[in-house]
């Protein structure tokens, strides 16, 4: 289901006011339809990591497909007033918006692809007014979903093949923060969600256990387990820590033994407090002694990739991880700082544009950019950002934007592919959106092609990703020229 259906209203006003004021200004200047190119990219991996998982393209496509100002939207805009009470926009501009049809070319990196700083995740090329207007929503969608997919990928890595269930809805940032994050978490690595609407909308497997209230609602813990076991003889996971965890495990075992003759299958227990290493080891021993070798131990309680890694190092006997708050909110880094920058504008010829910054890394990249990824049989080797309109040298050099003395020439015989694929052509969607299981499988393959030193959480190595040498030189010349001009 499209986000616009969820909110059952047009999303065309889901943008910052300044996008509309600039649109009006462009229109008045006769610049509205001048061809322009923008890139959406981030500058730094989230969570101090060594890679980022792109996500959100499906929702971006849905948003762009539905981009049309409705009569209600236009009426709202006509009624907007400036500081002196005057109408903010002329009626003729409102009429222009009313007949506007999205007509940009959009190229983007497929969801689940691993990406690196400065690489365009989305490139929008088309009428300046339109390409500008979509800045904010594209950033809203791609920043958030990419952030959550990356967090989930880290958590799944830490779980080392164990099942990870996303339990975060109650702590999510609002309704869409729960829904789009559940989808992004599934792309990144979560195996299931507790969020039923996300399950229905996106066809994500749903899983769950029961709450403490279930146990509290009965006279005894034993009664509670028995009642749950009778209701779900093949799908029971008992939460054992309401009163005393190890006593709870023993009660769960005795209930399972009592129900077994009736065909009960003892699915698992869940630990939700206390020392999860010690308790899981004790619980495993009790379960094994009773012959319940296949019964799972689920753990939850403020888990993230660091705690899961620590618990595993301690020898915890947990094989299912319920992860809520820290995954759904990307707790340790609540936003990805993706930006959307103008890189070229056509006035007869293409004119390249940059945004200067004190830091070279923050200066935007000019051109109509594409990303080439070099790889061999096992690994991704390096990424090169280049200007599609300029010829490439036979042996291109890749220049690290953070340290221009670091240059790389890709080994001979390396294969390559381009990361940005066509999504819209002249406003028409030409991209077949992959289904969610395919996107999820793509993430897994992508991460497996990165060296372990890039995948680790602590001080990962940086993957070689940078500007093609000529583009780097062109950018430097542009910076020097612009600085020369602005210093005068």
Ligand X SMILES: Nc1ncnc2c1ncn2[C@@H]1O[C@H](COP(=O)(O)OP(=O)(O)OP(=O)(O)O)[C@@H](O)[C@H]1O
**Residues lying near ligand X in the complex (CB under 6 A):** 272-277, 301-303, 307, 310-311, 314
Closest among 232, 289, 299 to 266, alpha carbons compared: 232
Among 63, 167, 202, 238, binds ligand PRP (CB under 6 A): 167
Please identify which residue in the block is written with the tokens 């060296």. Answer: 451
Residue 309 as a binder of ligand NIO (CB under 6 A): the answer is: no
What is the footprint of ligand NIO within residues 192-251 (CB under 6 A)? Answer: 194, 208-209
DSSP per-residue letters across 170-231: GGSSHHHHHHHHHHHHHHHT--EES-HHHHHHH---B-----HHHHHTSSSHHHHHHHHHHH
* Nearest distance in Å: CB 254, ligand PRP: 23
Whether 30 and 116 have beta carbons less than 8 Å apart is answered as: no
Q: Which residue is nearest to ligand NIO (CB)?
A: 208
Residue 225 and residue 240: Cα distance in Å, rounded?
9
Closest CA relative to residue 61, chosen from 108, 112, 99: 108
Task: Point out which span in 15-23, 295-303, 402-410, 466-474 binds ligand PRP (CB under 6 A).
Answer: 295-303
Nearer to ligand NIO, 194 or 387 (CB): 194
- Name the minimum Å distance from CB 202 to ligand NIO: 17
In the list ligand NIO, ligand PRP, ligand X, none, the entry touching 275 (Cβ below 5 to 8 angstroms by class) is ligand X
36/158 with CB nearer ligand X: 158
CB under 5 to 8 A by kind: which of ligand NIO, ligand X, ligand PRP, none does 39 bind? none
Q: Between helices 276-289 and 245-259, what is the axis angle to 10°?
A: 30
* Residue from the set 57, 303, 336, 342 that interacts with ligand PRP by CB under 6 A: 303
* Residues 197/179, Cβ–Cβ less than 8 Å: yes
- Residues 248-277, one symbol each (x = binds ligand PRP by CB under 6 A, - = not), give ------------------------x-----
Residue 113 engages ligand PRP in binding (rule: CB under 6 A) = no
Q: How far is the CB of 317 from ligand X (least distance, A)?
A: 12
User: If contact means CB under 5 to 8 A according to the sort of partner, which of ligand PRP, ligand NIO, ligand X, none does residue 251 touch?
Assistant: none
Burial class, 86, CB count within 10 angstroms (exposed 0-12 / middle 13-18 / buried 19+)? exposed
Beta bridge partners of 424: 106, 429
Of residues 195 and 300, the one with the C-beta less far from ligand PRP? 300
Q: Among 379, 431, 336, 441, which residue's Cα sits nearest to residue 113? A: 441
Q: How far is 100 from 67, CA to CA, in rounded Å?
A: 9
For the bound state, the minimum distance from the C-beta of residue 270 to ligand X, rounded and expressed in Å, comes to: 12
Check residue 321 for interaction with ligand PRP (CB under 6 A). no
Which CB, 171 or 451, lies closer to ligand PRP? 171
Total residues contacting ligand NIO by CB under 6 A comes to 8
Instruction: Go through 422-444 and write b for each residue having 16 or more CB atoms within 10 A of its CB, e for each that does not.
Output: ebbeebebebeebebeebbebbe
Q: How far apart are CA 182 and CA 193, in angstroms?
A: 7
If one asks whether residue 267 binds ligand NIO (CB under 6 A), the answer comes out as no
Applying CB under 6 A, which residues contact ligand NIO? 167, 194, 208-209, 270, 300, 322, 324
Applying CB under 6 A, which residues contact ligand PRP? 167-168, 170-171, 272, 300-303, 322-326
């Amino acid at each position: 289901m499209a986000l616009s259906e969820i909110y059952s209203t047009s999303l065309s006003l889901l943008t910052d006011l300044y996008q509309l004021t600039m649109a009006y200004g462009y229109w008045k200047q006769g610049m509205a339809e001048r061809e322009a190119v923008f890139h959406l990219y981030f500058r730094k991996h989230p969570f101090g990591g060594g890679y980022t998982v792109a996500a959100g393209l499906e929702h971006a496509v849905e948003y762009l497909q539905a981009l049309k100002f409705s009569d209600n939207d236009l009426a709202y805009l006509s009624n907007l007033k400036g500081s002196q009470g005057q109408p903010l926009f002329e009626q003729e501009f409102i009429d222009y918006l009313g007949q506007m049809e999205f007509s940009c070319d959009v190229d983007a990196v497929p969801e689940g692809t691993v990406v690196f700083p400065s690489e365009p995740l989305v490139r929008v090329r088309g009428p300046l007014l339109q390409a500008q207007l979509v800045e904010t929503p594209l950033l809203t969608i791609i920043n958030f979903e990419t952030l959550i997919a990356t967090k989930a990928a880290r958590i799944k890595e830490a779980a080392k093949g164990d099942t990870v269930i996303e339990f975060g809805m109650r702590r999510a940032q609002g309704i869409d923060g729960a829904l789009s994050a559940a989808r992004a978490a599934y792309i990144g690595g979560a195996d299931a969600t507790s969020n039923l609407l996300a399950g229905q909308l996106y066809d994500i497997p749903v899983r769950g256990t029961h709450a403490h209230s279930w146990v509290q609602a009965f006279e005894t813990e034993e009664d509670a387990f028995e009642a749950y076991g009778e209701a779900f003889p093949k799908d029971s996971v008992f939460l054992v820590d309401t009163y005393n965890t190890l006593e709870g495990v023993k009660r769960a075992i005795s209930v399972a033994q009592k129900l077994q003759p009736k065909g009960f299958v003892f699915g698992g227990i869940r630990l939700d407090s206390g020392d999860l290493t010690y308790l899981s080891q004790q619980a495993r021993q009790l379960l094994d002694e009773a012959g319940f070798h296949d019964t799972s131990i689920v753990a939850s309680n403020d888990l993230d990739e660091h705690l899961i890694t620590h618990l595993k190092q301690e020898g915890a006997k947990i094989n299912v991880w319920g992860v809520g708050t820290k995954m759904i909110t990307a707790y340790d880094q609540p936003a990805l700082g993706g930006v959307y920058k103008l890189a070229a504008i056509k006035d007869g010829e293409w004119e390249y544009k940059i945004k200067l910054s004190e830091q070279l890394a923050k200066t935007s990249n000019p051109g109509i950019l594409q990303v080439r990824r070099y790889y061999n049989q096992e690994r991704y080797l390096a990424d090169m950002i280049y200007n599609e309109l300029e010829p490439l040298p036979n042996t291109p050099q890749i220049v690290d934007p953070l340290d221009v003395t670091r240059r790389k020439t890709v080994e001979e015989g390396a294969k390559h592919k381009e990361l940005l694929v066509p999504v819209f052509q002249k406003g028409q969607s030409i991209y077949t959106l992959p289904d969610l299981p395919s996107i999820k499988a793509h993430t897994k393959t992508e991460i497996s092609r990165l060296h372990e030193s890039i995948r680790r959480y602590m001080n990962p190595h940086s993957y070689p990703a940078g500007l093609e040498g000529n583009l780097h030189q062109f950018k430097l010349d542009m910076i020097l020229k612009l600085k020369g001009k602005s210093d005068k």
